[in-house]
Structure 1
Amino acid sequence: MDGNKTLYTITIFSENTVGVLNQITTIFTRRQLNIETLSVSPSAIRGIHKFTITTFSDSEEVMKKLVRLIDKRVDILKAYFNTNEDLVHQELALYKLSTEKVMEHGSIEYLVRKYNIRVLEVNKDCVVFLKAGHYEETQGLFEELADTIGVLQFVRSGRIAITKSKVERLSDMLAKWEQQRIVIVNPESAI
């Protein structure tokens, strides 16, 4: 963790258009904020993509300004920021270890039970494990495996997160837009 800074999760919704990621990263660069993790995928709303970005900041005001700047972009539908308390979040990590060293250390079953990991691949040369969890868990497992067995390869995904609220905040905004559109197109329907 970066001293007294807080880890924030920025969620950005946009259509899947070329150049959106570049626009977003440019805003981070101009504000001198480092992107810690980045994950992009289709959202629950058809045709809308969701960017999940984590960054450290020493103030909520900086995050408010960042989100306002992102929101101003034409290709962005909406951006929000949250702290860990507002979210359910996970990361995925893959660990490749030497099969021989794993067997010298004990057994694959022992590691699976101890660390609550899944085995994705086992062959004569290597074993590949998958761990889902928070950063501290995936990093802690990496450090322990590196110290005890040795890790041949390691990779961690960016954070994936959903809010603890009932619906995606964008859903409410889109519903309001649709209601406003109906009123503008057919003012009698608002009566």
Structure 2
Amino acid sequence: MESEIKQFTVSIYTENNIGLLNRISAIFQRRHINIESINSSVSEIEGVSKWTIVVQLSEERMKKIQGQIEKQVEVIKAYYHTEDQIIYQESCLFKIKSELLFDEPEVQNIIKDSNARIVIVNKEFFVIEKSGKKEEIELLYRELSVFGIMQFTRSGRVSVTKDEMKISTMLKAFQH
């Protein structure tokens, strides 16, 4: 019997090489696992990229996938974490007609109450930025969609672990 399906945040430390994204996404694709979000950025170690991938599956399958990811030559180390082991945020942008900012006091209240911030205002539109948990962003989306959203985009998850990550120490020793 397969164990319970959970949401995992996968942290993958890699060299920055062409084609690696295709090979890693293929690992999930072959197993019919949907990637909820993916983010790639520099890490705390020079020359090393960090990918953050969010997936939902059993821990047994997650362990197998972690092993498959680590078999990729450019992958230095892969970890997976449950929600309670990390601190994470997502970010989004909303583009909305400017007249709503001035004519609808409720829109101003929604922005204020959600701790979003206005990035730019011009005659045609204004842009709001919000960082937070997925649920906070979805709530703001629902509240603003009543008034009309011209454009919307949301980033993948970014995260850090609550506990110390041994990868930094390991890589610093490796670099010398």
Where structure 1 has 5 or more consecutive residues not aligned to the other structure, the ranges are: 183-191
Q: Deviations over 1:64-103 (max 9, x none)?
A: 0000010111111010110110101000010111111232
Q: How far 1:50 moved relative to its partner?
A: 0.2
Equivalent residue for 2:96? 97
Distance in 1 separating the partners of 2:56 and 2:31:
12
Whole-angstrom CA distance in 2 between matches of 1:112 and 1:10: 32
Query: 1:35-50 residue pairs with structure 2 within 5 A?
Result: 35-50=35-50
Give the length in aligned residue pairs: 173
Q: What residue is the counterpart of 1:70 in the other structure?
A: 69
- Letter paired with 2:141: F
Q: How far, CA to CA, are the matches of 1:75 and 1:17 in structure 2? A: 7
Unaligned runs of 5+ in 2: none
Aligned position for 2:160 = 162
Paired residue type of 1:137: E
Higher relative contact order, chain-length normalized (CA < 8 Å, sep 6+): 2
CA contact (8 A) 2:96 2:126 kept: yes
CA contact (8 A) 2:5 2:59 kept: no
Identity within the alignment, %: 38
Structure 1 residue 104 displacement after superposition: 2.1
Instruction: Please report the RMSD computed on the Cα atoms of aligned residues, expressed in angstroms.
Output: 1.8
Between Structure 1 and Structure 2, the one with more strand by share is 2
Q: Secondary structure at the match of 2:35?
A: coil
Length-normalised TM-score, structure 2: 0.91
Greater share of residues in helix: 1
Distance of 1:173 and 1:70 partners within structure 2: 18
Q: TM-score, normalised by structure 1?
A: 0.84
Alpha-carbon distance in structure 1 between the residues aligned to 2:152 and 2:5: 27
Q: Aligned with 2:123: secondary structure? A: coil
- Corresponding residue for 2:134? 135
CA distances 1:17-67 after superposition (whole Å, capped 9, x unpaired): 11111110111111111111000011000110000000111x110100000
Is it true that 1:144 corresponds to 2:143 in the alignment?
A: yes
Matching residue of 1:85? 84
SS at match of 2:33: coil
Structure (1 or 2) with the larger CA radius of gyration: 1
